[in-house]
Structure 1
Amino acid sequence: MHYSTIEIYKAIDNAQKSLLKSSDMNKAFQQLLKDVLEITSSPIGFFGEIFHNENGPYAQMRAISNIMGKDQQKALLSDLEFHDPDSDILKPAITGEIIITFNSTRPSLKQPEGHPVIHSYIGIPVKFDNNIVGVIGLANAEYHYQLSCVSELSPLIKTIAVMIERKRLLKEQEQYNKRMLSHAEKDTLTGFYNRWKFEELTSSFRPLERDVKYIISCINIDAFRKINNLHGFDYGDLFIRKIAQIISRSIDNKGLCCRSSGDEFLLLSPEYIVYHIIEQFNPSITVHGRQSIITFSVGMAFWDFESGNITRTIQHAEHSMCQAKEQGGSAIVLYDDITNNFRLKQEKIALVRHAIEQNKVLFYLQPQVEIQNGTITGHEILIRIIDNSSIIYPDDFLPHISETETDIALGDYILENSFLIVNEIISRDISCDISINISAYHLLSKEFIKTIQNLIDQYSKTIFSKIKLEITETSLINDIDKAAQILNYCKDIGLRISLDDFGTGYSSMNYFRLLPIDEVKIDKSFILDINHREESFLLVQHIISMVNSFGKHVIAEGIETSIHRSTLINLGCKYGQGYFYSQPSPWEKALYLTVEQKLDTE
C-alpha cells in the first residue's frame, strides 16, 4: 500500500495553518487525525500524548476517530487514558518500537459499549528530540499494515511530534503564567516582566532606532531540564539569573524582555541584539564556578509597530522556536523563512515522490575523459525530473530533500535504475565505467545496504566492477567509522569509491585518509577559478600532486575552456569532465556517442 505524497503534505499544510490561526490544539489534532485516516484508509485511529508518573508512562488521548455519538465521543476524548504497560497502545511508548497486529481483538482498549472490534492495528511511537512524546494508532484498514507505511508517513509523524511539543510548551507557559499572577508584574528570580505586562508594554513601545527592523523573539534554553536534574534546582535558578543578566545588559533600553516560562524568554528588540546575546554564550558560560555549555532554540517574527497583533506575532515566534527545536536545537528560525521554506520543501518533496512513483526521473550521462585526447573512459549518471513538460534540474530539488526519507527513496531509485543501464552497457559490449552519486545520508541509512544486497542477488559481479559510487555531501557524514565500514563492504563486492567535491569541506583530507577511496573529484568551483585566483591554482596543484602520489585517480570537474584543459594537463591531471568536452545527454544517446567516441558539444 502506497500513500499519496501530495495528500500527506496537504495534511501537514492544513495542520500548520490551523496552528498559526488558533491556539485550540485539540481542533488541530482532530483535523490532522481525520486527514491521516483518509490517507491510510483506516476507519479507526487515535493520537495519544505520553505522560509519566511513578508507575511509568501512560497515554492520554489527544484525538480519536468518530466511532460513536458526538456526546460519547466528547466524553471519551476527555477521559480516556491508558496505563496498562502490556497493552498495544502503550507498547510503542515503552519499547520505542512499532507494533503491528492482525486478526486479533487486541489492542486492549478501554472500549465503551458499541465500540467496533479491532481486527488489525499498527501502533507508532512519536519522538521529539529523541524522547517518546506520543503514540499513533491506526486500525481496521482493508490491507495489511507494514513497516514501510511508517516511512511514508514520516513527515506526518514529525508534524504530530511538533504539535505535541508545542502543546506541552503552551501548558508549561499557562501554568507559569498562573503562578506569575500571584506575584507583581515582574518575575522574582530575573526581575523581568511577566508575559501580560510584556504584551501591554510592547503595544505602546516606540523604538529609539527608527530605521531598524524590530522582532519578537522566543528564546528557549536547550535541555534545561537536564541541567536541573544534573546540578539541582538551586543551580538552575542561578543559571537562569545569569542568562537574564546577559539578556538585560544586551537589550538595555532598546527593547523589552520577559520570562515567559521556566526555560524561555520573550524579547522585543532589533534583530542584531538576539545574535549578540547568543554569541555571548559561545562556547560556554560559568555559573557559580562551574562551566556549562549552553545552546538555544530561537524563533523570531518581525514586529509591526503600527498594525501588529502582539498575540499573533508571539505565536509565530513560538511556532518558529518549535521548528528550531525540531532541527535538533542550537538553531535560529525566522517566521518568514519557516512559512516560505516549509512550503517550498513540501512542494519539492512531493515533486520528487511523484516523479519516482510515475517514473518521471530522466537519466543522463556526462562523459569522463582523458584530458589529453578526449577519449571517453566513463560516464557520471545525472538525473532530471520531467514535470508538466518542463525539465527540472537537480539544483532545484536536491537541497530541499536532503536528509529526508525522500533523499533515501530517490537514492534507491537511482541505484536500481543505474544498474539497469550498466547491464545494458555490458550487453552492448561497450567499454566504460559508470559513476553513481550517493548522498552521505543515504549511505548511512539502513536502506542503502538492503538495496545493495538486493542488487547482489539480481546482477553478476561483472556489473559491480563497472560501477563507482560517488559520495556527495560528505560534510553530513557524522559517523566516519560507520561510513568506512559500509564503503569497505562495497569495495569487497567489487564497487569502487569516489569522493565528490573534494576540497570544499574542512574535513576533505580527513575523509581521504580514513575512507577507502579510489578516486577524488576536484570541485568545479576551483577549476572555474584556476586561472583567475592563485589560491585555487595552488589548491588544485596540491590535490593533484597528493592524490597522484597515493596512486589514486583524480578527476577535474567543470572543465569549460581550452585554458582550463591546458592548465590541468600541465599540473599532471589525467582525467576530467565538463562542458568543454560534452554536456550531459540522455543515456541512450550518450552510449551511442561512446561507441562512436564522439562528444556531445551541441
Structure 2
Amino acid sequence: MTDDKYRTAVDAAAIYSETDLRGTITHINDQFCAISGYTKEELIGANHRLLNSGQHPPEFFRELWGTISNGEIWKGEICNRRKDGSLYWVNSTIVPIKDDKGQHVEKFISIRFDVTEKQELLEAMQWRASHDVLTTLPNRVYLHDRLHQAISAAQRHEHSLAVCILDLDGFKAVNDRYGHAIGDLLLVEVANRLTRELRAEDMLARLGGDEFVLLLDQVDEELLPAALKRVLDVIAVPFHIDGHLLKVAGSLGVTIYPKDNEGPDTLLRHADQAMYEAKQSGRNRFRYFDVSISKKTRATFKTIERLKQALGQDELRLHYQPKVNLRNGTVIGFEALLRWEHPEWGLLPPDAFLPAVERTDLIIDIGDWVIEQTLEQIRLWTAEGRIWPVSVNIAARHFQLPDFVDRLQALLAKHPDVEPRMLDIEIVESTAIDNLEHVSQCLIDCQKMGVTFSLDDFGTGFSSLSYLKRLPAQTIKIDKSFVRDILHDKDDLALSEAIINLSRTFEREVIAEGVETDLQESMLLGMGCYLAQGYGIAAPMPAEQVTDWAARYELMNR
C-alpha cells in the first residue's frame, strides 16, 4: 500500500502520523495538529519526544520501541502533552512499515484516537474511591495502603512512625445548632488547618464524620508532644464560618511504631483506644496508647467489636415485659428489652454489653434494629387481633441525632400496616434535660406522626415543673428505685406520691416499674397509680411466650 493509500484509509476522526526510524515526524494530518496544539510547520522534522508528558516511566518507551523495532505492532494508551502544557490521552496503534521486500523496517505509522474523556473519568473514579469528596483528603482505603508503605519504610530505615486519631469535641453541637451545611464547611476548614500544620512527609486522612487520622513519619519522640499540642492548639482557635464563630476542640490518640509493633488495622485500633482515653480524661488533650492500658478499657473495645459482629450475625434478641392495669387485670402493652444470645456465654442482659457502646455510633445501629424488630412484632400481634402497644428504649446518642425524626419516619414507612400510635419511645429523664430544646422538638415532631413517648427513670435526675411542662411525653414512669422501697422508706413513698400527683395535674399517664410484690401493687393502687410492670408481674419473655402468658394473666385477674 502506498503512503497516500495509508493516509486515505485512516478514518477522518483518527489522529495520524508517520515517523522515521529515529522518531522524527515526517507526516501528520490535521487532527494531529488540532489535538496537540502545534502547527504542521512546528511538528514536521521534530522528534516525537516533543509530545512527551513525563507521565510514563522510561521502561514504558523501551518496551514500545523494542516492539516496533522488531517489526511488531504495538497497541496501548499514551499520555501526551499539548503545546499549552495540558495533557491528553490517545489510544494508539503503531505499525512498522517494511520495505518492498518485507525485510527491513523503513518507518512507523501511528493511528490514534482521543480517549482523554474516558481517561479523565477513570481517574476521577479512582480518585473518589481513595479520597473523601468533602475535604479531598485520603480516605480509609488510601490510608490503609499508605500505612502499609509507611510501616515497611520504618522497618527498612529503622525510624519511628506515629499513628494518630483525632476526634473533634463539640462538632455534634455545631451540627445540631447550625445544620449539616455549616458542619461540612467546618470539617473542610479543620482539614485545611491540619494540612498546613503537617510536614510534607506526613499524611492526613479522614475516616468519616469528625474523625481524622494523622500519619507522622520519621518522628522524634522527644519532640512529638510539642507537635501534638500544636495540632490541638490549631483546632482550638475559633473558626469563622459563614458569619458564625464556631468553637471546637480535639481529642487525640497516639500510638508509636515500632514500639507498638503491629499491623495497620491494629495500630489504628490502638490509636482509637488512646483517643477514647483522651476523651474520658477531659478532652482537648492527647493520650498515648500503652500496652499496659487497663484490662477494663481493652475489654470494652473488644466488646464493641464483638457486638458489631453480633448485630450482623443475628445474635441479638428482644424480650417483652408486660405492662398491666392493676385495677382491672388487663394487659395494656409491653416494653421491648434487648438481650444478646451469645454463642458461648448464653443469654446476656443489656447491662452486660450496652454500657460499652452507648457512646459509639453502634448504639444508633442497635437502636434502629430494635425499633424495626418491634414494629414487625407489633404487626404480627395486630394480625392476631392483639392490640398491644410496645415501648422501646432509645439511647441518648441515638435520640439526639439531628435526623432522628427522619430515620424514625423511614422505619415506620417500611411497616405501613403498623399504626404509629402502637410504638412508644422511652427516653430517660437525663437525656431530655441535656438537650431540652432539641428533645422537645423531636417529641412534638414524632407525636405528629402518631408515635407516643414515655419519660423513663422520672425523679432520678433534675425533675422540675418547668421540665415537665416543656416535655410533652404522654407517660411518666416512676423509677423502680422508688417503688422498691416504697413500703419502708418514707422519702421514696413521698416522691412516688408527688410523681403520681404531678402526672395527674399535667394530664399524663403514670406507670410504676420494678413492681415485685402484692403489697407494692396495693400501695400503688391506693395512691392512684393503676399501671405497672415488674418481675412481680412477669419477667421479660420471648415473643412466642407472650400470648399464652397474657391469656393466663387476664383469666386469673378478672
User: Shorter-chain TM-score: which interval?
Assistant: 0.5 to 0.7
User: Which residues in structure 2 correspond to 1:341-352 (within 5 Å)?
Assistant: 341-352=296-307
Matched, 1:402 2:354: no
CA distance in 2, matches of 1:594, 1:464: 23
Query: What is the rounded CA distance, in whole Å, between the counterparts of 1:600 and 1:356 in structure 2?
Result: 39
* Structure 2 alignment gaps of length 5 or more: 1-125, 161-181, 240-248, 254-270
Cα distance in 2, alignment partners of residues 473 and 96 from structure 1: 28
Give the distance between the partners of 2:277 and 2:148, measured in 1 at CA: 34
1:465 to 399, 405, 421: 421
User: C-alpha separation between the residues in 1 aligned to 2:512 and 2:451?
Assistant: 21
Q: Which residue of 2 aligns with 1:594?
A: 550
State the distance in 2 between where 1:599 and 1:393 align. 30
User: Pairwise mapping of residues 288-299 of structure 1 onto structure 2 (< 5 A)?
Assistant: none
1:354 maps onto 2:309 in alignment: yes
CA 1:393 to 1:66, structure 2 compared with 1: closer, same or farther past 3 Å? closer
Aligned pairs for 1:565-580 within 5 A: 565-580=521-536
Select 1:417's aligned residue among 336, 356, 373.
373
Q: Distance in 2 between matches of 1:587 and 1:61?
A: 45
Once the two structures are TM-superposed, the CA of residue 323 in structure 1 deviates from its matched residue by 4.6
| 1:563, distance to aligned residue in structure 2 (A) | 1.9
Residues 136-535 of structure 1: matches in 2 within 5 Å?
136=205, 161=213, 174=223, 323-327=276-280, 329=283, 339-388=294-343, 390-446=346-402, 448-460=404-416, 463-472=419-428, 474-475=430-431, 478-507=434-463, 510-535=466-491
State the one-letter code of the partner of 2:335. E
Q: How far apart, in 2, do the equivalents of 1:72 and 1:226 lie?
A: 28
Q: 1:576 to 1:69 in 2, by over 3 A?
A: closer
Shift of 1:45: 9.7
CA contact (8 A) 1:469 1:496 kept: yes
Q: Distance in 2 between matches of 1:337 and 1:474?
A: 34
Code of the aligned partner of 1:540: S
SS of the aligned residue for 2:437 comes to helix
Q: What count of residue pairs does the alignment treat as equivalent?
A: 368
> Is residue 582–residue 600 contact of structure 1 (8 Å, CA) maintained in 2?
no
Higher alpha-carbon deviation: 530-539 or 470-479: 470-479
Single out whichever of 322-331 and 534-543 deviates more from structure 2: 322-331
What's the CA shift for 1:442? Answer: 0.6
Distance 1:506 1:43 in 2: 51
Shift of 1:61: 9.2
What CA distance in whole angstroms lies between the structure 2 residues aligned with 1:515 and 1:498?
Answer: 10
Contact 1:378 1:433 in 2 (8 A): yes
Q: Contact 2:371/2:392 (CA < 8 Å) preserved in 1?
A: yes
1:66–1:585 distance in 2 versus 1, CA, 3 Å: closer
Distance 1:508 1:514, change over 3 A: same
Q: Give the equivalent residue in structure 1 for 2:512.
A: 556
1:64 aligns with 2:19: no
CA contact (8 A) 1:364 1:586 kept: yes
**SS class of match (1:501):** strand
1:96–1:66 Cα change, 3 Å: farther
Post-superposition offset of 1:338: 5.1
SS in 2 for 1:431: coil
- What's the CA shift string for 1:275-326, capped at 9, x where partnerless? xxxxxxxxxxxxxxxxxxxx99999xxxxxxxxxxxxxxxxxx999865543
Deviation at 1:556, TM superposition (A): 0.5
Q: Secondary structure of the residue that 2:294 maps to in structure 1?
A: helix
Contact 1:367 1:582 in 2 (8 A): yes
The change in CA–CA distance for 1:323 and 1:495 in structure 2 (over 3 A counts) is closer
SS in 2 for 1:64: helix
**CA–CA distance in 1 between the matches of 2:480 and 2:414?**
35
- Amino acid across the alignment from 2:540: P
Q: Give RMSD over aligned pairs.
A: 5.2
Q: Which runs of 5+ in 1 are unaligned?
A: 1-41, 49-56, 79-94, 99-123, 138-149, 179-219, 231-294, 300-317
Residue type of the alignment partner of 1:136: A
1 CA distance for matches of 2:322 and 2:152?
Answer: 66
Distance 1:172 1:565, change over 3 A: same
- 8 Å contact kept, 1:365–1:590: yes
Higher radius of gyration, 1 or 2: 2
Q: 1:577 to 1:599 in 2, by over 3 A?
A: farther
CA contact (8 A) 1:500 1:521 kept: yes
Gap change, CA 1:71 and 1:502, over 3 Å in 2: closer
Amino acid at match of 1:326: K
On the 8 A contact 2:323/2:531 being kept in 1, the answer is yes
The code of the aligned residue for 2:283 comes to G
